[in-house]
């Protein structure tokens, strides 16, 4: 098993029923289903455009419990778009890490383990959609067509979705072992 | 998305707390966690030798809710071992299908969908272990070293583990759409 160390640069949650934009927290509690109170929390959720094999609105198991992005990929997407920053808040990310630049490319089934026992399981790439692009576009009104350009620029570098394998607490500044599948 | 049709040749469950050998049923109910009453049922389970990144006995999310094997691979393993049959019961399998011979090789994230809405999600290869080998060896005492030989022969053809994405009922004889990831 190949192992790496990544550093938790920020933990964030969306304490809203409607707005996916996240805000920084000193730490987050994760449990089966995700972060209690977060927009994406739940053991189940309703199928959307990413699960075209189900009728929209079908109740399905929730694999999109948390999203995780890397500082390096956020900077790369910003560079491609020619803007100063792409912040994890705007992507609705829950965990921002550094130390493994191309985090979106890690295999499904890879794990992030904290020293106090938390286990997160990589459920795969988070496919870019227009929502975060619109948030980014609103930050930089002087740039044209940022929303659709984001979808292209973030392809394969928009981070991953994770489910919780072992619950617990994750804090800013701690290190996680990344075990590749 | 590549699609195939497989036929459900048998559905089985292990209605025991200790014995993984399954027995045929006319139909099975699947829900989040697997088949209620089955040995492997549960939203969580205890980490074992397959999850060496966790201390043995750590409570983790249960991705091994159901196991699925193909008739074709069972026959192939029997042929390699030089024995008449490898039955799904002996492997502790919950679903036996036909129509897609190398079922163990389908990508993680592939789905099986029934016409009445059930969705099963492929969590990956079921790595062969000695237990089923010992059951097979007990069936054919005239053959030598069947248990360890099974582990080798079944490598990459021992079927897959699935989690339940949408609950419901699965019956013998019905067809499932296999959607490759």
Model confidence, pTM: 0.93
Residue contact B60–A109, C-beta within 8 A: no
Partner residue facing A163 (CB), from B44, B52, B61: B61
Partner residue facing A164 (CB), from B32, B61, B111: B61
- List, for residues B40-74, the tens digit of each pLDDT value: 999 999 999 889 999 999 999 999 999 999 999 99
- What does the alpha-carbon distance between residue A157 and residue A161 come to, in Å, rounded to a whole number? 12
pLDDT at position B1 over 80: no
Chain A residues close to B110, C-beta within 8 Å: none
Residue B40 vs residues A64, A164, B30, B45, B117: alpha-carbon distances, Å: 24, 19, 12, 8, 22
pLDDT at position A128 over 90: no
Q: Quote the minimal CA–CA distance from A10 to chain B in Å.
A: 24
- What does the alpha-carbon distance between residue A9 and residue A5 come to, in Å, rounded to a whole number? 13
**Does residue B142 sit in helix, strand or coil?**
coil
* pLDDT (0 to 100) of residue B17: 82
Q: What is the mean pLDDT of residues B8-24?
A: 94
Q: Quote the minimal CA–CA distance from A108 to chain B in Å.
A: 8
Q: What is the mean pLDDT of residues A80-91?
A: 97
- List, for residues A134-178, the tens digit of each pLDDT value: 999 999 999 999 999 999 999 999 999 999 999 999 999 999 999
Q: Quote the minimal CA–CA distance from A43 to chain B in Å.
A: 9
Residue contact B165–A60, C-beta within 8 A: yes
First-residue to last-residue Cα distance in chain A: 7
Residues 6+ apart with CB under 8 A from B144: none
Compute the C-alpha angle B60/A166/A115, nearest 5°: 125
Find, among B153, B155, B159, B158, the residue nearest to B81 by Cα: B153
- What does the alpha-carbon distance between residue B55 and residue B49 come to, in Å, rounded to a whole number? 9
The residue of chain A with its CA nearest to that of B63 is A165
Residue that has been written with the tokens 């969705």 in this structure: B119
Residue contact A61–B165, C-beta within 8 A: yes
Residue A151 vs residues A78, A136, A179, B137: alpha-carbon distances, Å: 12, 11, 28, 55
Residues 6+ apart with CB under 8 A from B173: B7, B8
- Contact between B86 and B78 (Cβ < 8 Å): yes
Range 112-131 of B in CB contact (< 8 A) with A: 113, 117, 119, 121, 124
Residue B158 vs residues A83, A132, B101, B126, B130: alpha-carbon distances, Å: 50, 42, 11, 6, 12
């Amino acid at each position: 098993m190949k192992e790496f160390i990544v550093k938790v640069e920020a933990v964030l949650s969306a304490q809203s029923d409607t707005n996916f934009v996240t805000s920084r927290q000193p730490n987050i509690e994760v449990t089966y289903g995700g972060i209690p109170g977060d927009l994406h929390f739940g053991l189940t959720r309703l199928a959307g455009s990413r699960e075209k094999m189900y009728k929209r609105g079908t109740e399905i198991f929730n694999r999109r419990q948390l999203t995780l992005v890397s500082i390096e990929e956020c900077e790369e997407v910003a560079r491609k778009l020619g803007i100063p920053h792409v912040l994890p808040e705007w992507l609705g990310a829950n965990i921002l890490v550094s130390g493994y630049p191309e985090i979106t490319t890690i295999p499904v089934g890879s794990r992030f383990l904290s020293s106090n026992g938390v286990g997160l399981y990589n459920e795969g790439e988070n496919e870019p959609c227009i929502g975060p692009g619109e948030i980014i576009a609103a930050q930089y009104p002087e740039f044209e067509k940022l929303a659709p350009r984001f979808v292209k620029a973030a392809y394969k570098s928009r981070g991953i979705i994770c489910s919780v394998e072992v619950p617990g607490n994750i804090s800013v500044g701690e290190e996680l072992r990344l075990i590749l599948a």
